[in-house]
Homo-oligomer: A and B are copies of this chain.
Amino acid sequence: MTKTNTGRFFEDFVVGETIHHATPRTVTAGDVALYTALYGSRFAVQSADAFARGVGYPHAPVDDLLVFHIVFGKTVPDISLNAVANLGYAGCRFLHAVYPGDTLSAISEVIGVKENSNGRTGVVYVRTQGFKQDGTEVLDYIRWVMVRKRDEASPAPEAVVPEVPAALAADTLGDAAPVISGTYWDDRLSGSPHRFADYLPGERIDHVDGMTVEEAEHQIATRLYQNTAKVHFNQHTEGQGRFGRRLIYGGHVISLARALSFNGLANAWHVAAINGGRHVAPLFAGETVYAWSEVIDRAELPGRDDIGALRLRTIATKDRACADFPHVDAGNRYDPSVILDLDYWALIPR
A contact residues vs B (CB 8 Å cutoff)? 2-6, 20-26, 28-34, 36-40, 42-44, 47-51, 60, 77, 100-101, 103, 105, 133, 186, 188-192, 194, 198-199, 205-212, 214-217, 219-224, 226, 228, 230, 233-237, 246, 263-266, 286-288, 319-321
Docked pose: A302 CA to B143 CA in angstroms:
49
* Given contact pairs A30-B30, A223-B40, A235 touches B3 in the complex (Cβ within 8 A): no
Chain B residues, CB < 8 A from A36 = 223-224, 226
Chain B residues, CB < 8 A from A233 = 40, 209-212
Partner of A34, one of B37, B40, B192, B321: B37
Question: Which of chain B's residues has its CB closest to A235's CB?
Answer: B212
Docked pose: A82 CA to B211 CA in angstroms:
18
A78 to chain B: closest CB distance in Å?
10
Cβ–Cβ contact B188 & A209, under 8 A: no
Docked pose: A230 CA to B321 CA in angstroms:
13
Cβ–Cβ contact A105 & B209, under 8 A: no
Question: Which of chain B's residues has its CB closest to A4's CB?
Answer: B264
Could you give 25 example pairs across A and B, Cβ below 8 Å? A2-B206, A3-B198, A4-B264, A22-B44, A22-B190, A23-B189, A23-B190, A29-B100, A30-B33, A31-B33, A36-B223, A37-B221, A38-B220, A40-B222, A40-B233, A42-B226, A47-B226, A50-B105, A209-B228, A212-B219, A212-B233, A217-B220, A235-B288, A236-B319, A237-B321
Chain B residues, CB < 8 A from A47 = 23-26, 226
Which among A36, A100, A192 has the greatest number of chain B C-beta atoms within 10 A?
A36
Cβ–Cβ contact B263 & A188, under 8 A: no
Docked pose: A228 CA to B41 CA in angstroms:
10
Docked pose: A31 CA to B32 CA in angstroms:
9
Other A-B pairs, 14, CB within 8 Å; known A20-B186, A28-B33, A217-B219 = A3-B194, A3-B205, A4-B208, A20-B188, A24-B48, A29-B29, A29-B30, A209-B228, A212-B215, A212-B236, A216-B220, A220-B220, A235-B288, A236-B321
Cβ–Cβ contact B37 & A220, under 8 A: yes
Chain B residues, CB < 8 A from A6 = 208
Cβ–Cβ contact B236 & A210, under 8 A: yes
Docked pose: A190 CA to B224 CA in angstroms:
17
Which among A24, A47, A263 has the greatest number of chain B C-beta atoms within 10 A?
A24
